[in-house]
Amino acid sequence: MACEMIRAVKEGGAQIVNLSLGGHTLDNVPPVALQAALETITEWEHETGQEVLIVAAAGDYADTTPCWPAAFRRVVSVASLAPDMSPSPVASTQRAIRPMAAARWPGKSAVRFAASSKLSRQR
């Protein structure tokens, strides 16, 4: 995944990288490959004057343990909301790294575009 992020930016010209994934590490330390990829992308940004927005899922672990890659400071983390727009009880807050997710969106009964470009209902 780390190599694909770099390739998408440097070779594919991606301006937004969406990482709809996340996970914990045994020691709460960032994964080396992801950290290196983000550093490589930051260096590329400085060299070219271009910017890349990197977005990742904050996680649905209902805890404050860092969920990587969303826990990286340069990554915009996105967490879910309950249907009443209150914080979802399963959304990870990652208070150990950041005060809260940078963006939140309803996570139950959300409408999303599937890979086939057809609308699907996520429950």
Which domains can be identified in the chain, with CATH numbers? 2-122 (3.40.50.200)
Is residue 101 predicted with pLDDT exceeding 70? no
40-44, 105-109, 114-118: segment of lowest average pLDDT: 114-118
Supply the pLDDT for residue 84: 80
Q: Is 70 exposed, middle or buried (0-12, 13-18, 19+ CB in 10 A)?
A: buried
pLDDT of residue 119: 37
pLDDT the model gives residue 92: 72
CA 65 to chain centre: 15
* 83/105 Cα distance (integer angstroms): 9
Q: Over pLDDT 90: what percentage of the chain?
A: 46
Percent of the chain residues topping a pLDDT of 70: 75
